[in-house]
């Protein structure tokens, strides 16, 4: 089985399995416009790991913009994943995704390496250029230049992990071999998966990313994307996010949701089988249900272990 060029434990958990793997996205309780109950979220994270979910994914939403509709899991990504790391053992811990344009690369490098160390190498970074317009002036960032800023900060973070006392300069600032950033990750570099297009060409993502993380797409579009991705990136993995609502009727046909579907378990089994055939490696599931624990258990019983 190919290693896909990375020794990071989280990356191996997600992408070296025989077949499609699944992760759960925070907030698992669905409380994405208010502060989730910490104990409940941690309980559900542990339960997801017990049930066989391979990843636990936290979003990076620096500010709450009501017009956009949600605040992610509310808590800052780094302390939240550190907390989750202390209560889980094997599941990969993912970001979906760190907004590189709004975070200083030194802070990203140090925070990510810290979580990676505390979790024994389970961290996998989705990284993005951002999509909430009012955040750019709030952080003093030129919205129109975010594509270039993303590339510079992506390269800077990698360099800060790989090199000691680096000589480094970008639009974010500079280092001149007098300063070191510690700790270093458990491996040479933490895997980074650009999210969406991140204002980059697909060729750039294929060359520089350790994989590609994307949103839900219609199946015909997804097939085209994956055919082109495999042509450009070879064996590098492809991950995606899907909202899932399981109906009581196992034979119910799909109804479209925003970035996902409401359908019976029989349709979802076929759907995830098709995703695997297209070449999808990992799916981040956003489960829609009033009883979050029951939703996790039902998904595991009827899809993960079917």
Residues listed for the chain: 306
Q: How far apart are CA 168 and CA 154, in angstroms?
A: 12
pLDDT in tens, 124-139: 999 999 989 999 999 9
Beta-strand ranges (E) seen in 121-219 are 123-128, 167-170, 173-176, 192-194, 212-214
As for how many domains the chain has, the answer is 1
Residue 1 domain-assigned? no
Residue 80 domain-assigned? yes
Q: Show the low-confidence residues of the chain (pLDDT under 50).
A: 1-3
The predicted structure's pLDDT at residue 286: 96
What is the enclosing helix (H) or strand (E) of 95?
A: strand 92-99
CATH number at residue 95: 3.20.20.30
Q: How far apart are CA 91 and CA 96, in angstroms?
A: 15
The predicted structure's pLDDT at residue 33: 81
Residue 46 domain-assigned? yes
What SS3 state is found at 305? coil
Structure tokens at 25: 């996205």
Domain residue limits at 21: 9-304
Structure tokens at 77: 């990504």
The predicted structure's pLDDT at residue 4: 56
Residue 197 domain-assigned? yes
Residue 131 domain-assigned? yes
Question: What's this model's pTM, rounded to 2 decimal places?
Answer: 0.96
81, 95 Cβ separation under 8 angstroms: yes
Q: How far apart are CA 1 and CA 241, in angstroms?
A: 25
Residue 4 domain-assigned? no
Q: Which residues contact 85 (CB under 8 A, 6 or more apart)?
A: 93, 115, 118, 119, 122
The predicted structure's pLDDT at residue 17: 86
Q: Which of 166, 164, 188 is closest to 176 using CA atoms?
A: 166
Give first-to-last CA distance, the chain, whole Å: 23
Residue 281 domain-assigned? yes
3-state helix, strand, coil in the chain (%, to 5): 40, 20, 40
What is the enclosing helix (H) or strand (E) of 285?
A: strand 282-287
Residue 2 domain-assigned? no
Going 108 to 98 to 291 to 49, the CA torsion angle's sign is negative
Q: Which residue has 């939403």 as its token pair?
A: 61
Helix axes 77-87, 105-118, angle to 10 degrees: 10
Q: What is the DSSP letter of 41?
A: H
């Amino acid at each position: 089985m190919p290693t896909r060029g990375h020794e990071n434990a989280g990356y191996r958990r997600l992408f070296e399995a025989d077949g499609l793997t699944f992760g759960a996205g925070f907030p698992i309780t669905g409380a994405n416009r208010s502060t989730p109950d910490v104990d409940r979220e941690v309980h559900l994270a542990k339960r997801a790991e017990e049930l066989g979910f391979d990843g636990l994914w936290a979003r990076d939403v620096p500010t709450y913009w009501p017009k956009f509709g949600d605040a992610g899991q509310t808590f800052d990504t780094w302390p939240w994943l550190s907390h989750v790391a202390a209560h889980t053992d094997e599941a990969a811990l993912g970001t979906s995704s760190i907004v590189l344009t709004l975070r200083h690369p030194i802070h990203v490098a140090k925070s990510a390496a810290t979580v990676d160390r505390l979790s024994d190498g389970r961290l996998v970074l989705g990284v993005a250029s951002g999509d909430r317009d009012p955040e750019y002036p709030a952080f003093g960032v030129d919205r129109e230049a975010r594509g270039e800023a993303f590339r510079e900060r992506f390269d800077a973070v990698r360099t800060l992990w790989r090199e000691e006392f680096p000589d480094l300069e970008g639009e974010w600032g500079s280092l001149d071999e007098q300063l070191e950033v510690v700790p270093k990750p458990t491996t040479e570099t933490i895997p980074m998966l650009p999210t969406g297009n991140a204002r980059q060409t697909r060729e750039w993502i294929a060359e520089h990313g350790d994989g590609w993380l994307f949103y839900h797409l219609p199946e015909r579009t997804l097939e085209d994307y994956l055919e082109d991705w495999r042509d450009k990136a070879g064996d590098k993995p492809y991950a995606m996010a899907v909202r899932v609502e399981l109906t009581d009727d196992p034979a119910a046909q799909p109804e479209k949701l925003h970035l996902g579907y409401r359908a019976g378990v029989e349709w979802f089994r076929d759907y995830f089988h098709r995703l695997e055939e297209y070449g999808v490696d990992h799916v981040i599931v956003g489960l829609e249900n009033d009883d979050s624990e029951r939703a996790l258990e039902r998904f595991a019983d009827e899809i993960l272990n079917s």
